[in-house]
Amino acid sequence: MVVKNFFFFCLIVFCCEQTFSQKLMDGAWKSPQSLTTLNAAPVALIPFPQKVEWGKEKFNLSGNIYITFFEKDSAYIKNAVHSLQEILSANNIISKKRILKNGAFIPENSVFIQINNDLPVKVEGYKLTVTKSAIKISGKDAAGAYYGVQTFRQLIEKNHQQFFLNTCTILDWPAFQFRAFMHDNGRNFQSIEMLQSQIDILSHYKFNKFHWHLTDNPAWRIESKIYPQLNDPKNRKPGRDPEKTYSFNDIRNLIRYAKERNVTIIPELDMPGHSAYFEKAFGFKMGTDEGMKILEKLIDEFCSEISSVDCPIIHLGSDEVHIKNPKEFIERMSTRAQSHGRKVIIWNPGLPAAKGIIEQVWNEKEAKMGKIVKDNPVVDSYSGYLNNYDALSLIQRFFFHQICNQPDGDSMAFGGTLCCWPDTRVDNKQKILLYNAEWPCAITYSEALWCGRPENAYQYMNRLPSKNSEAGKYFHEFETRLAKHRDKYFVHEYFPYVQFGNIDWQMTDIISHQKEASIEGVFSEKEESKKIKEYSEKTKLITGGVLRLEGYFDSEKLSNDSIETIYLTTYLFSKEAKQIHAWIGFETPTRSNRRSAGIPQIGKWDANGGTIWVNDKEPIAPKWENPGAYKYLKPTWETPANEIPYTDEEFYWTRKPAAVYLKSGWNKIVMRVPRKYSEQVWMSVFIPVKLNAGGKWVEDGFVKFDANHL
């Protein structure tokens, strides 16, 4: 609709002529590398090495390349050599292996790999040297050699049909020794082949653990020979792949496949909660004496089939459940697993952990800004959930997250795990990667895990720093690297991400309305004009094409008794009149449950009353296929609503972008963003996008933003 001139005259006065009454905190946040070092890199490296020096020459990667190594190292570097062969073959480069005796001359035009335990780096570290005539990769250990090869992968550049590497010297090591990714296959089964393809990519970004959540309410996914009723589809949740089970051969094969890529599988046998299938199969719960006896036998069975060499760590779950005998239960189960030579992990909060048990911290409210390492070793997951928040806003959360709330790891702060919990039923399992933005998020998390973060910057995890601040420049630099990886390595993979840290807005303070009033009454022209005048001196500058608005207000200030609204204004410049496309969105449902106001009605942008104006006109809203559907204002766990798979139209990054018409010169963008109910994900999205040559939506550099333009 066209909004009358009087309203927009007020909005211009309100949003554009005022100076800020308050600036957001923009501290001098730093990464382990300086901006000068990061910006000087001729290639986009993720995670970025701890130390690097660049030369001015190039190594031409052409013809026959020799992969050379000492005979004494052959057993330790076999995975690194195999990975190197795959990299060269993928670039149509022929390679041959050449085994050397100690002290032999290293031939030119070769990649030399060795183990050097005396390298001045931590465990899993490496040194990579590229000269004009040869490449040398020295690993502190077998893992270090493998990770040196993964950095080699990213150093390769192509000019026409010629491949080359810039000369350089890299000395690198991980800040944390525990770098994990988790999939929940208890709720949504994924094939072994799908998991293998993901482990491939995770290993490229130096993840070394795969946390495999194998059991949850729908099913015990592990083969059981002693209790076959656990594999009987009738005892599993209908619609949740009740016939799908991982055989012990499947599990062994995935463990072997992962080990070849320096990834250790950590299976999770979740107990005593998240176990509806168990009561259905046996008639009693896990926490009973009968239940504990069965679980001990199941642990015995698993450990007899899967050796401690292949599987040194077992996760026993233990969260989100109340039982009469928590201490007895967790001690019995932990002791049973330990009797088979396994280390044990459980969730925290969860059942009380005995001394020496590894605790995986997941509750953000208790962990943020405080010390999370206490009596037991810790794995950090408190900000590492892919299914929570909005997919793109997770990028800033993971980038600024200080793992374990300390700069690097030690004997108590092991590292972190990024978790994917798609509780809602998924039909097309590949959509798990799309709806949860797995790859851009995992790659960002890998940077925080490998590089570490010198200081805790929790405030930036929920609201971006100004783009002109030092912290903002660091984020922009990383976004640029991430976009290059999207375009180079993920041509055929889901990679829903575009750069969004260069967009500024003028934001009003909260305008409150009576909750009983209708949306039409609250947002009538007369009422809006009145409120805009009233709040005309309460503006501040904020940054981000994706905004999680709770992060900008004190939680005590947010009301559950009224409709709360803010207005955002920015200007973008176009050299010519042109139609562009943009990702535009408001409330985004989490992927763990269907809580949201649902699909808007026809002609509307937001089910909560949000909208957007471009030069005083509303763009045409999406043509909703299911207008008014999927409205659930409370969490839907274990309800019929959670059995409805998500659809592409529910997420701004999966539906077709909106058409936006720009005039030549400056264009005014105004967004109205209401908060209508207490558990709403209060957010807004506006990011111009364009199709690249590969058919992916990427950032549109055609337009420039300036929230201060008059």
Q: Would you list the DSSP string of 373-404?
A: --SS-EEE-TT-BTTSS-TTHHHHHHHH--GG
> Residues 74-90: pLDDT tens digits?
999 999 999 999 999 99
Per-residue confidence (pLDDT) for residue 535, from 0 to 100:
64
pLDDT recorded at residue 517: 64
Say whether pLDDT at 533 is over 70: no
Average pLDDT, integer, range 525-531: 71
Q: For the residues 102-111, what does the mean pLDDT come to?
A: 79
The mean predicted confidence, pLDDT, of the chain is: 92
Q: Could you give phi then psi for residue 474, rounded to 5 degrees? A: -65, -45
- Supply the pLDDT for residue 684: 97
C-alpha 74: how far from chain center: 36
Percent of residues, the chain, with pLDDT higher than 70: 94
> Do 602 and 593 touch, CB atoms closer than 8 A?
no
Counting beta carbons within 10 angstroms of the beta carbon of residue 702, is it exposed (0 to 12), middle (13 to 18) or buried (19 or more)? middle
- The domain 51-172 is classified under which CATH number: 3.30.70.270, 3.40.710.10, 3.30.1490.190, 3.30.379.10? 3.30.379.10
How many residues are listed for the chain in this entry? 710
Q: Which residue has the higher pLDDT, 332 or 561?
A: 332
Q: 160, exposed or middle or buried, with CB in 10 Å at 0-12, 13-18, 19+?
A: exposed
pLDDT digits (tens, 9 = 90+) for 150-189: 999 999 999 888 899 999 999 999 999 999 999 999 999 9
Q: Which of 6-15, 36-45, 198-207, 452-461 has the lowest mean pLDDT?
A: 6-15
DSSP per-residue codes, 235-278? GS-TTS-TT--B-HHHHHHHHHHHHTTT-EEEEEEEESSS-HHH
Q: Are 612 and 684 a contacting pair, CB within 8 Å? A: no
Residue-level pLDDT at 18: 36
Look at residue 532 in the predicted model and tell me its pLDDT. 65
The domains of the chain are located at: 51-172, 178-483, 543-705
Which amino acid is present at 188? N
Look at residue 20 and tell me whether its pLDDT is greater than 50: no
Asked if 690 contacts 591 with a C-beta cutoff of 8 angstroms, the reply is: no
pLDDT in tens, 289-321: 999 999 999 999 999 999 999 999 999 999 999
Fold assignment, 178-483: TIM Barrel (3.20.20)
Structure-block tokens of residue 382: 């408190």
pLDDT confidence band for 9 (50 / 70 / 90): very low
Q: Are strands 504-508 and 157-159 parallel, antiparallel or unpaired?
A: unpaired
* Rounded Cα gap, residues 34 and 176, in angstroms: 20
Tokens of 306: 């899967």
The per-residue pLDDT for 4 is: 37
pLDDT exceeds cutoff 60 at 27: no
pLDDT over 80 (residue 534): no
Which ranges of 267-324 does DSSP label H, i.e. alpha helix? 276-282, 289-305
Is the pLDDT at 706 greater than 50, yes or no?
A: yes
**What pLDDT is attached to residue 518?**
67
Helix residue spans in 306-437 (DSSP H): 326-338, 364-367, 393-400, 431-435
Convert the pLDDT of each residue in 230-282 to its tens digit: 999 999 999 999 999 999 999 999 999 999 999 999 999 999 999 999 999 99
| Of 609, 652, 418, nearest in space to 517 by CA | 609
Mean pLDDT to the nearest integer, 428-433: 97
Q: 675 pairs with which residues across the strands? A: 564
The pLDDT score that the predictor gives to residue 561 is: 80
CB-count burial class (<10 Å; 0-12, 13-18, 19+) for 633:
middle
Tell me what pLDDT residue 516 has. 66
Structure confidence by residue, pLDDT tens digits, 337-370: 999 999 999 999 999 999 999 999 999 988 887 8
pLDDT at 447: 98
Asked, colleague to colleague, whether 51-172 and 178-483 share their fold, the answer is: no
- CA-nearest of 469, 554, 365 to 25 is 469
Beta bridge partner(s), residue 68: 98, 112
**What is d(CA 654, CA 642) in angstroms, rounded to the nearest whole number?**
20
- Residues 6 or more apart in contact with residue 111 via CB below 8 angstroms: 65, 66, 67, 68, 84, 95, 134, 135, 136, 137, 152
Contact 24/542 with Cβ under 8 angstroms?
yes
Which pLDDT does position 524 carry in this prediction? 75
Tokens representing residue 208 in the block:
């070394």
What three-state secondary structure class fits 150? helix
Residue pair 395/482 in contact by the 8 Å Cβ criterion? yes
Which residues share a beta bridge with 184? Answer: 213
DSSP string, 46-99: SSPPSEEEEEEEEEE--SEEEEEEEGGGTTTSHHHHHHHHHHHHHTT-EEEEEE
Burial track 167-183 (b if 16+ CB lie within 10 A, e otherwise):
bbbbbbbbbbbbbbbbb
Q: What are phi and psi of 472, to 5 degrees?
A: -65, -35
Non-local (6+) Cβ contacts of 174 within 8 A are 122, 124, 125, 206, 409, 449, 450
DSSP 430: T
